[in-house]
Structure 1
Amino acid sequence: MAAYTEMCVCGFEEFNQAVKQHEGKPIFVFFVGSLDAEGKSWCPLCVKAEPVIREGLKHTGKECVFIYCQIGDKPSWRDPNNDFRRKLSVMSLPTLQKYGTPRKLVDSECQQANLVQMFFGED
């Protein structure tokens, strides 16, 4: 089984800290709507994609970092000045991205097991 490090962060500042902490390693980021008190995202596509992403993680290389990034509540996500939108060009949820590259899967692509497996297995 692949050996990867997983981090769960909330918000843009925690995300930046996690990236700095793992500089030089391949970093995969799963951007999702923040979780409620029951641990469920307000974003229905994020909820559907998560099990597919988790299964796909079995295909990552060693020393990879997986960041589960909660971007905020629905009103803050819809704000055009949201840091994830402005600074990282994350325009839809869910988004799976290889940090520092243009590689990403968005929306329903994150629910397609074959795409997710290829995405993680390309390194």
Structure 2
Amino acid sequence: MSCNEVSVRGYAEFEQTCLEQQRRGRTVFAYFSGDKDPASGASWCPDCVKAEPIVRAELLNMPEASVFIYCQVGNRTYWKDPNNEFRKKLKLTGVPTLLKYGTPQKLVEDECFKSDLVRMLFTED
């Protein structure tokens, strides 16, 4: 199965994309990462760099009619602010975070390093 992926940056883009995808009846999975440096292509967050290939390797296990949103949460200073929108509105506590939107199901930080947990998030109701 080919993965339906959308890349967004910032909370407003994330929220708008989620609403559009849910209106289309799609289950939304979201991966939150620190912003990537345009020159190097690497995130400022070393755990995000480590987790991304593990998460991407499991995308083929996503259910039909679902979408994967790759969301950059901002630079390190913005992310560390306890009042940023991701922390306040989505209750994110760390990056990387992988979640099934609208459910309590999520993996945070080093949980995203475990392919079996990532696969379970994508395949279980």
Tell me which interval the TM-score lies in, with the shorter structure as reference length.
over 0.9
Q: Shift in Å at residue 21 of structure 1? A: 1.0
Q: Deviations over 1:61-120 (max 9, x none)?
A: 111110000000000001111000000001101000000000000111101011111111
Aligned length: 122
SS at match of 2:4: strand
Q: Deviations over 1:17-52 (max 9, x none)?
A: 111110131100000001102211100000000000
Residue 13 (str. 1) matches residue 12 (str. 2): yes
Residue 31 (str. 1) matches residue 55 (str. 2): no
Q: After TM superposition, where is structure 1 displaced by more than 2 Å over at least 4 residues in a row?
A: none
Percent identical residues: 48
For structure 2, the 5+ residue unaligned runs are none
Q: 1: distance between equivalents of 2:83 and 2:15? A: 17
Conserved 8 A contact 1:3-1:62: no
For structure 1, the 5+ residue unaligned runs are none
- After TM superposition, the score normalised by the length of structure 2 is 0.94
Which residue pairs with 1:84 in the alignment?
86
- After TM superposition, the score normalised by the length of structure 1 is 0.95
